Structure 1
Amino acid sequence: MQHAQTGSRPTGGSPPALPSVDITLEVNGTLHALRVDTRVTLLDALRDHLGLTGAKKGCDQGACGACTVAIDGRRVVSCLALAAQCEGREITTIEGLSAGGGTHPVQAAFARHDAFQCGYCTPGQIMSAVCLLAEGRADTEEDIREFMSGNLCRCGAYPNIRAAIREVRGER
């Protein structure tokens, strides 16, 4: 049987090498030199190459927010960002949220308000909340609801998540 595009027979040898690239990622203030397939997502680079498993692989389609990280201070679903496109940018994951090993105020508020149940979505929720507060977009309950809508919680802890964000914003 001939190959439809070239008219030649498949050789049966090794598959062609996948294109790879050398990159340096700044993650949580530390530079990491990596060689990755050009198609590797930031989420997979963080989890599989750097061992940072806080960002969760939920839907792998950018719809659930479980993989949310901050890139240059902005919320990004890392399953939709290619690792190679993140070179030269400042990436913060849940593991790097607290300088010096302390608890970030949003993390502490989540604990006080029981803003997690199973905990799977919690890292993404916290990263999104931190960025939301830094962006100054948490003025009203409606703002919080709208700007957190990309982070899903199957357990339904939304009222507690919003309460934690309000607390950190300054309204108790």
Structure 2
Amino acid sequence: MVSKEVGKYINTALRCIPSEELEELPRTVYNLPQWHSYEHNIWEYGERIRQILLENSKIQLLDSQIEKIIEIINNPLAKRGRQTFIWLLGKRKYAGLAPRIIDQIYDDDVSLHIFDTVYKMRALGYEKEILDFQERFKPLAAERKKIARYLAGFK
């Protein structure tokens, strides 16, 4: 039953993604980008799934669900809504999926989330991407420590 609910949220999120790039909304008074309503919706569906998985540790994502999650993560039209879907893969058991999502580290809408997820996966071998991320993003102190730990091979 829970797996059906997860599948329903994934499919609904996929349907929320527009078929073409929409114009950016005006920035806020703090010069932050505003989110389109569909981005909020996608983010919310990912968060609902994340909460389901946190509350039911025995629930496993199905391979078909993982494929759709990767489809969402790699679709730039979903913009910032992808953030919670990226976090769904932040476990060691998903380290083999890192090559399929690492290129999104160059997308400013999700770069921090990709780094965090690859770090949680402990998926080594992406030093170049992590160094590029560090140079572009100028992360906060907590991320700098994680980056140093990653680059040291978690030693």
Normalised by the length of structure 2, the TM-score is 0.34
Bigger radius of gyration among the two: 1
Q: Point out the structure with the larger helix share.
A: 2
**Higher share of residues assigned strand:** 1
TM-score, normalised to structure 1, is 0.32
